[in-house]
Amino acid sequence: MSQPIVEKEAGTPAQSDKPVGDAPVSEKRVREYKDFGHDEVKPTHANVDMSRIELKADDLYDKEKVDLETIVIEDVFTLLQCNDQGLSTEESKRRLEIFGPNKLEQEEQNPFLQFLSFMWNPLSWVMEAAALVAIALSNGEHRAPDWQDFAGITLLLFINSAIGFYEERGAGNAVKALMDSLAPKAKVKRDGSWVEVDSAQLVPGDMIAFKIGDIVPADCRLTEAINVSIDQAALTGESLPVSKKEADQCFSGSTCKQGEAEGVVISTGANTFFGRAASLVGQEDDTTGHLQKILAQIGSFCLVTIGIFVIAEIFVLYAGFRWSYRSGLDNILVLLIGGIPIAMPTVLSVTLAVGAQQLAKYKAIVTRITAIEELAGVTILCSDKTGTLTTNKLTIDRSTIRTYAAFSSDDVILLAAYASRTENQDAIDASVVGALGDTTRARAGIKLLDFKPFNPVDKRTEITYRDEASGRLKRVTKGMTGIIIELCTRNKTDEIENRLEADVEEFASRGLRALAVAYEELEGDDHDAEGNGFELVGLLAIFDPPRTDTKQTIDDALAFGVKVKMVTGDQLAIAKETGRRLGLGDHMYPAKVLKDGPPPGSQFNSLDEMIMDADGFAGVFPEHKFEIVKRLQGLGHLCAMTGDGANDAPALSRANVGIAVEGATDAARGAADIVLTEPGLSTIVHAIRGSRIIFQRMRNYAIYACAVTIRIVVCFAILVFCYKFQFPPFMVLIIALLNDGTIMTLSVDRVLPSNSPDSWDLAEIFAYAVAYGLYLTLSTIILVVVILQSDFFQRKFHVHLNAPPGHIDHNDKQLHTIVYLQVAIISQALIFVTRAHGFFFMERPSFALMGAFCLAQLVSSIIAGFADWGFTNIQKISGAWIGIVWVWNIIWFVPLDLIKFAMKATVIKYLRDRHNLAAAAATRAHAETGVPIVRTQSRAASIHESLYSNRTSFIRRAVRKVGFGQKVRVKPEELQRFSSIQARHTGQTLARHPSRPTT
């Protein structure tokens, strides 16, 4: 009698000591067939005193004492103080109070606070301070408060906030916040009877049941399992469904693909496998995003510049000129109102929001708009394999089919399809039948007499049928290689076995799962009779194929300067085979190297070097993906991560840009910054290109905003120092309002994306800003000097002011108007220079930008030609003066491109060379020491950045203290999306509420 074959798991060889013919076992070589499976974990016992057990956190979730996932099932019932009859309704309610609901909590954004948040940053604070100065401090000296400036500043603040709120709210609402990832309903035994309840009501100790097609509602240990196969790819990254037997664990959120089962709930909510993955999301308090850091530094530049000149004016005007209190305030307001780029947060928000809407055309929904800016600078794209690079749909690889008898490859597939279910299929049966092309052929021409489905014991399927063409009875079986070859007794030779062993070994090395097919015929009409003996006819290779567009996507990403790395929970051989098929490379390593480091004698001096060299990692868990992304970021890279399952959620959230692919779980969508709604990864390339266009728009605006700050502050400070010039603050408000309206159109401007990852080089931005700002300052100063110190314009163009040349008042109202028009026109025209890499006329602007500029300058010219506003100290000027100002600005505008080219050839070149030298030095130091060189940030700078990040945190805390509203919520992405309040507090809750011992 032959002994049954013993299959080893997790890629270890299956051994058979079955004799063939009369050959003794000792003379038969033990053959190894490397079929894929999972490591079998032997059950243990709880390391606690079971006689004094209490239902409390110390016993349930302290894995040094007890592991509910692996202990013997009897100890599970003892530890959870329950039995196979389930809990009573009263007990379930008590446990619900202890453990909390079986779900992850979230907070939502309060619209009112979101609106206020646009006024909550240092730039807005300065403008708000200016408004207070205008209304509260500008009193006395027989003059009323400066209502006009107060109203204008307030209007400017509200307009910017309203635009930003509208655009960001619209983009944020494009996708719902995190949805409930657990099954909405669950079948549970309460009071001895099976009932259906909301899955959120489940508690540890509940008895649950599920069947094919159901989602497992909580982590459980099976007490009964009938042909159960579970798809847990979304949780662990495994591409194949996993067979489950009694006492095995099933994860919350996985799907039952076959059979039916009962089990006891061992953990719920944040304590499930899914919940623990969620707790990794946002576990580090890193709420300040990349764009917020850049915004903070640009804001600091502007604030420091303004602060220097405001302090200088205070000393000069009050200590030097002995001006009155009120006159000095007006000049300080000019610097504050004109210098602060108040629209910066709004312009960037609108640019990103419009960009998000543009990306939506490519079926990419942006859930955190600042991620668009970060995507432009991404240098490494880490991608999950199953369901992301691949289809997550098993397929027969026709090119690798092996035949061992007088059958063709097509015959082998047809026979294997006969031995497959045509309904209620598992993944393997579906792949075999699908390989026919026409699935009706799986039952065409035959009459089914008997079918034995796959089960974990036999590990094969079998069909007995009548061939309608010949009328003969035939039998086909397919299954694991070791099982099938042991069944074969006909035409089995050492040569056949050697070929089979070599083929299985080759498949295993390539990550392909082997599926053997055997065939026999029966004599007579008894379908239960013995056949003439099975003969091995073929070997099929099953794999999870790459998506059709994945290879092109990877090639395109590389062309954009983005390196792609695979991180998967699947096996190393499968990962390498996928990498080879995609042209990604096969320098891949198992996850254990992340803990053990490079092996002795390897070419790598540190784990960081190994991670940078790797094309991917296999066998990873959620914490491994998280660690890989974190280390890449520590090396100075902006990292994107794609994924589709709950196991990807921690890394998706940790990454600078998390991308959930089409078909992703709700968990992955909730953790991601960008959600793809169309199959394939080609959308990512469109998103990268689109993000770089958006980045260029923001960079152009940053240079423009900083240059205008320099231009306004330095220009009017010099004028007041030299001529005691008292420019009216209200006219600066008009300039700011018209500028902001025009600059908003930058969000749809035509720009060219770069072919390499973008980065914010603030030294370059500030250098350009200083050069442009000082040049424009010079254009205004020289115009004022010519008007005040000569009669050139009066003599050449027969124009005049309120006084003859040589006697013109330095604060002539018409001179104010001339200065207003000159500053308004050329300052806004600067955008055409900053937006172009070459000559401004070589890169056509959008119609929106050109139209807004023309409209703004028409309004400015009308104000100059018709406004007689006594309250703001301006007086209309003639059309000739308006023409003079336009010509003057055109003359000064043309050399701006030459300044840009001169800066590139000198200062910018020097800054880039210095940056490259510093980067090379850091790389050498890291190679020698293994420690990345990271610039240490001051605490003050860090605090300043935080003021631009989670904008509503201070307001939210203040509102809660005064009791405004019953519940104040915050948008999930501002609380590090998908973070779970329950996950942070469950431990303390359990410790505070130990269970009463039951009898």
Catalytic positions, please? 384
Nearest to 849 by CA among 736, 744, 753, 772: 744
Report helix angle 427-434 to 409-418, nearest 10: 140
Task: Residue 33: name the closest of 462, 579, 420, 539 by CA.
Answer: 539
- Angstrom CA distances, 946 to 127, 290, 306, stand at 19, 11, 21
* Euclidean distance between CA atoms 948 and 952, whole angstroms: 10
- Measured distance CA(131)–CA(143) in Å, rounded: 17
Residue 266 host element (H or E)? strand 255-267
The partner residues of 215 in beta bridges, in order of sequence, read 255
Closest CA to 544 of 519, 578, 576: 578
Q: Phi-psi bin for 572: left (phi > 0), alpha (psi -120 to 50), beta? A: alpha
- The tokens for 906 are 């000198």
Phi, psi of 165 (to 5 degrees): -65, -45
Please name the residue ranges forming H helices in 523-648: 550-559, 572-582, 593-596, 607-613, 622-634
**DSSP-derived secondary structure letter, 144:** -
Amino acid at 139: N
Q: What Å distances lie between residue 867 and 680, 863, 884, 889, CA to CA?
A: 59, 5, 18, 21
* Rounded CA separation 892/889 (Å): 5
CA 304 to chain centre: 34
Which of 406, 358, 925, 994 shows the shortest CA–CA distance to 689? 358
Please report which helix (H) or strand (E) contains residue 981, including its range. helix 981-992
Instruction: Taking the CA atoms of 115, 116, 120 and 123 in sequence, report the sign of the dihedral they define.
Output: positive
Contact residues for 486 (Cβ-Cβ < 8 A; gap 6+): 2, 5, 16, 18
Half-sphere exposure in the Cβ direction for 877 (13 Å, CA): 27
Reduced to 3 states, what is the DSSP secondary structure of residue 452?
strand
| Residue pair 649/978 in contact by the 8 Å Cβ criterion | yes
Measured distance between the N- and C-terminal CA atoms of the chain, rounded to whole angstroms: 51
Sequence-distant (6+) residues with CB within 8 A of 538 are 401, 402, 403, 404, 405, 407, 409, 411, 412, 415, 416, 516, 517
| Count helices and strands in the chain by DSSP H and E runs | 36, 22
Residue given tokens 């056509």 in the structure block: 844
Q: DSSP labels for 640-671?
A: EEEE-SGGGHHHHHHSSEEEEPTT--HHHHHH
DSSP state letters, 923-959: HHHHHHHS----PPPPHHHHHHHHTTSSTTHHHHHHH
CA dist 290 and 268 (Å) reads 35
Give the span between the Cα atoms of 512 and 508, in whole angstroms. Answer: 6
Phi/psi zone of residue 453: left (φ > 0), alpha (ψ -120 to 50 degrees), beta? beta
Cα(577)–Cα(597) distance, integer angstroms: 24
SS3 percent helix, strand, coil of the chain, rounded to 5, is 50, 15, 35
Q: Which two tokens mark 266? A: 């061992």
CA nearest 746: which of 354, 189, 342? 354
